[in-house]
Amino acid sequence: MAKKQKIKKKPVKKHLKKTAKAKKVKIRNAKSKTISVASVNQNKRTIDSKKLLSLEEAEKYIYEAGGENGLKIFKYLIEKDVVEEGQLARKLGVEKINTIRKDLYKLFSKGLVAYIRKKRGKKAWYTYYWFANSDILILALKQEYQDEIDQINKAVDLNKVEEYYICPICNRVYDAKTALENDFKCSNCGNILTHIDTEKVLETKLERIRELEKKIAFLDKFVHKSRPPSVKNTR
Ligand SMILES: [Zn+2]
């Protein structure tokens, strides 16, 4: 707690100035924003990755973006914080750097990973350091849950005003007005209609909303824990 307060007290502008001066390291992400970050003395970003990925929707989301390899990469990055591209390939048993790049770019296009590039010594080329962008995953999942809540709410409103009857033989559904007109008999087979228990339907839906709200609250716990990554000065 005391640590957190100490960080907050730092004036932002001063911090950024110092940062840019210290080392020109750039973070690039899919939204093509470029941010300068300090290359030294930053806290390791602490996210309980196992907890975050315990949501079945989290794994599903990453899988849909980057397939099985993408999921492996994301899991590795979220645990190791920042990993150099070649090292990442070796650790995951990928022979060609281009193969891992292809998978990284799938995740990158969805904003799930980002990189820092850095010149090492006097070499002409850049070294790429990748990290998982867990905030993007959290935001996407929250949106998914909220969309489902909105959809359910629409449906629940309908259930509050409508009453339905069903034929237990041929499963035809009648609204209350039609059922009354038909003397509560099925116009197809003549069987007596049964009232559909909308209360039960409503309860099931409210239960799902409560479940989704819990998931959103669960995700909120992660948001302030993530910090920009750091790369130690290699020169
Ligand atoms: Zn019927």
Q: For the domain that residue 121 is a member of, what is the CATH number?
A: 1.10.10.10
Q: Are residues 104 and 122 in the same domain?
A: yes
Distance 76 CA to ligand 1 centre (A): 57
In whole angstroms, what is the distance from residue 201 CA to residue 181 CA? 25
Q: Are residues 152 and 204 in the same domain?
A: yes
Q: Are residues 183 and 201 in the same domain?
A: yes
Residue 53, pLDDT > 80, answer yes
Q: Domain end: 132, 154, 188, which one?
A: 132
In whole angstroms, what is the distance from residue 217 CA to residue 212 CA? 9
6 confidence band (pLDDT: 50, 70, 90): very low
Structure tokens at 49: 């990755």
Distance 173 CA to ligand 1 centre (A): 9
Which residues span the domain enclosing 211? 142-216
The Cβ of residue 66 has, within 10 Å, a number of other Cβ atoms equal to 24
221 domain-assigned: no
Residue 111, pLDDT > 50, answer yes
Q: Are residues 125 and 48 in the same domain?
A: yes
Residues 215-230: b if buried by 16+ CB within 10 A, e if exposed: bbebbeebeeebebbb
Q: Are residues 57 and 104 in the same domain?
A: yes
Task: Name the strand (E) or helix (H) holding 191.
Answer: none
Q: Are residues 147 and 123 in the same domain?
A: no
176 domain-assigned: yes
Residue 151, Cβ density class (10 Å: 0-12 exposed, 13-18 middle, ≥19 buried): exposed
Distance 160 CA to ligand 1 centre (A): 25
Distance 227 CA to ligand 1 centre (A): 62
Residue 226, pLDDT > 70, answer no
186 domain-assigned: yes
Distance 164 CA to ligand 1 centre (A): 14
Report the pLDDT value the prediction gives residue 44, as an integer from 0 to 100.
45
Q: Are residues 177 and 121 in the same domain?
A: no
State pLDDT tens for residues 57-78. Answer: 999 999 999 999 999 999 999 8
Report the pLDDT value the prediction gives residue 119, as an integer from 0 to 100.
84
Report the pLDDT value the prediction gives residue 116, as an integer from 0 to 100.
92
Q: Are residues 160 and 191 in the same domain?
A: yes
18 domain-assigned: no
In whole angstroms, what is the distance from residue 104 CA to residue 91 CA? 14
State percent of the chain over pLDDT 70.
70
In whole angstroms, what is the distance from residue 77 CA to residue 213 CA? 28
Q: Are residues 119 and 65 in the same domain?
A: yes
Distance 151 CA to ligand 1 centre (A): 31
Distance 136 CA to ligand 1 centre (A): 51
Q: Are residues 125 and 74 in the same domain?
A: yes
State percent of the chain over pLDDT 90.
40
User: What pTM does this model have?
Assistant: 0.61
Report the pLDDT value the prediction gives residue 225, as an integer from 0 to 100.
53
Q: Are residues 95 and 167 in the same domain?
A: no
Using DSSP, state whether 71 is helix, strand or coil.
helix
Q: In the block, which residue shows the tokens 């996407």?
A: 140
In whole angstroms, what is the distance from residue 174 CA to residue 192 CA? 12
Q: Which of 109-118, 134-143, 155-164, 212-221 is least confident? A: 155-164
Asked if 70 and 106 touch (Cβ cutoff 8 Å), the reply is yes
Distance 38 CA to ligand 1 centre (A): 72
Residue 51, pLDDT > 50, answer yes
Q: Are residues 75 and 153 in the same domain?
A: no
182 compared with 30, residue with greater pLDDT: 182
Mean pLDDT of 102-113: 95
21 domain-assigned: no
Distance 189 CA to ligand 1 centre (A): 4
Please give the tally of structural domains in the chain: 2
Distance 187 CA to ligand 1 centre (A): 7
28 domain-assigned: no
233 domain-assigned: no
137 domain-assigned: no
| Mean pLDDT score of the chain | 77
Report the pLDDT value the prediction gives residue 17, as an integer from 0 to 100.
39
